[in-house]
Structure 1
Amino acid sequence: MTDYSYIDYVSMAVSDPPSAYHASPITSKCKSEISDRFNIPEIILDAYLKTEGASEGHIRNNSDGTWDVGPMQINSSNWNTFYTKFGVLPVDIRYNGCINLMAGAYIIRGHMDKKGKENITDWNTFFQVAANYHSKTPEVNSRYQEKWVENLTSLLEVKDNER
């Protein structure tokens, strides 16, 4: 068996051709389990998925030298955390939709917990914390909030019309 370093795993996730891997989608079962595990309503997860707008296997090279991968566009600056804490390989974050969603939910839950439930007392604070998933830089956060709220509103309207 070949021993790979973390750097090798990053290289595989970024450089190997997509044909080397089988992309697996987010299933309703895994979304439900992730929602329950991280105490994040599915519609909130759906708002992130719609805002990020990517699919399993997708990769985007950022101007700062990092990469965003998969449906939740998990930034490579987070990959080492998932590798060291949970043994999750970067290639799985890129190609496995359920693992990618779980990584995103973990990051979202972290932002919510860091702010503290008692400190999220109005919608503006909630939206700001929700947009911290993308960026804490005020201007960038504000733009993400607009997109995220628009997507959440759209999803809520569809859900309301289904009743």
Structure 2
Amino acid sequence: MQNNTTADAYFGRALTRPPQAIAQLAGDAVHPWLWGIVRFYQLAKGVLLCAHFTGLPVGTGICRTRVFGLHIHEQGDCSGNPPDPFANTKGHYNPSGCAHPAHAGDLPPLIADNGRAWFAFYTDRFSVREILGRSVVVHAERDDFTTQPSGNSGSKIGCGIIQRADTSRICGSQHIL
């Protein structure tokens, strides 16, 4: 019998139930085909995020893979102005005042192939309750993990508000990754 204390078993059990929160992302006017969903699973000592995206900008030539910054932002307001359509998301979620890349809202880079990306990430920097009502933002460029205050990751091209999951709307009683 396999030891059920392994990371695979731990995270696998989390994914057998619906997420506690979801952010559905949409692109700005320049990227209307961008769509994504981030699912948040509260675990005993942290949060598991599972995400997938389609419609991300595609690189050119043989090396078409692109890397994008992905962050949780302070405000759950995906509105703004023409030069910055998601300006009202404000800065990265950073309740402890840490320097970048140690903000609670700093997530790993999103690596896309032909406009599609999938990722899973575990963090203990926040709980699902703390981030409800905030936003998830995709940036046009990769985060350099150095430049202050936010990693020089370019313009905000996609945004979604983190909301408590309505489990009755997640494929009936089941959910998909």
Give me the TM-score of the superposition, normalised by structure 2.
0.27
Q: Which has the higher contact order (CA 8 A, sep 6+)?
A: 2
* Greater strand share, structure number: 2
* Greater helix share, structure number: 1
Give me the TM-score of the superposition, normalised by structure 1.
0.28
